Amino acid sequence: MVECGPGAFFLKKTELQAADTLLSSFSPADRVAIVGYSKAAELVLDFTTDKSDARDALHGLNFVTGYTQLNLVSSVAETIDRLAFLPGKKTIILLSSGVDTSSAANWQIVQQKINASDVRILAVSVAGFLRKTAKWRKLSADERENRKFVKEGFVQADQSLRELSEATGGRVYFPNNTKEFDHAYAEIAQLVRHEYRLEFAPPLPDGRLHPLQVRVNHFWYHVDHRQSYLAPSPPSH
């Protein structure tokens, strides 16, 4: 899932090409779909095992349109809806600046949907180049006045990516150059290929969302896990 806006424009020639490594690392049986988003999520390529088709769709994304609106959270929720009835392990690899122009109330509406889904989100920030531009480019007086506002915007965007990924038991990466993008993609490929799933029977079928905690006795293990789970609805009589 790729942001098709100004924050991702730099991907066109550099980091987006490095995603070929990620596609090549998938199993031949793994199915891949390509989704672009700005105002809303758009299915560019439906699920296929043909990685060459996925690669062509990825490099054919349009980064020119959709600059004025980046509805990140609602687009992720829409994509989760499309995945709801598909069997097997499901992961959204999200390439995004984290900028979300929708209202704060929108996040509250879709948060439960994200928390209750069985889809994991692995987010990769594409805002590194924007930070470099804001830091090193010679700025006018008006631009200098806005620098604090821009910096605060990056902080909020990073937090949005963290909240989306952590709620689903995923991870977030903040690469600043092609080498760091390569490292992020390599790690993501390992996570997708070598994931272990632990399941349990909820003690009470009440149809409600419950917080979930996972504890590990050995301190050198790091465990990514969902922050909540949706219990099944009570049986009807």
Q: What is the pLDDT of residue 173?
A: 93
Alpha carbons within 13 A on the beta-carbon side of 8: 29
Look up residue 231 and give its DSSP letter.
P
The DSSP bridge partners found for residue 125 are: 96
How do strand 90-96 and strand 41-48 relate by DSSP bridges? unpaired
* C-alpha distances out from residue 51 to 33, 47, 217, 228, Å: 10, 10, 40, 33
Q: What is the pLDDT of residue 138?
A: 60
Q: Six-digit token pair at 3? A: 């942001």
Written as tens digits, the pLDDT of the chain (237 aa) is: 988 876 566 565 555 666 777 787 788 888 999 999 988 899 999 999 999 899 888 888 777 655 567 889 889 989 998 998 888 889 999 988 888 887 777 777 777 778 778 899 999 988 776 665 545 456 565 555 555 555 667 788 899 899 889 888 889 999 888 788 888 888 888 888 777 777 778 888 887 878 888 788 777 777 777 777 778 788 876
Q: What is the pLDDT of residue 136?
A: 46
Structural domains of the chain, ranges and CATH numbers in brackets: 2-193 (3.40.50.410)
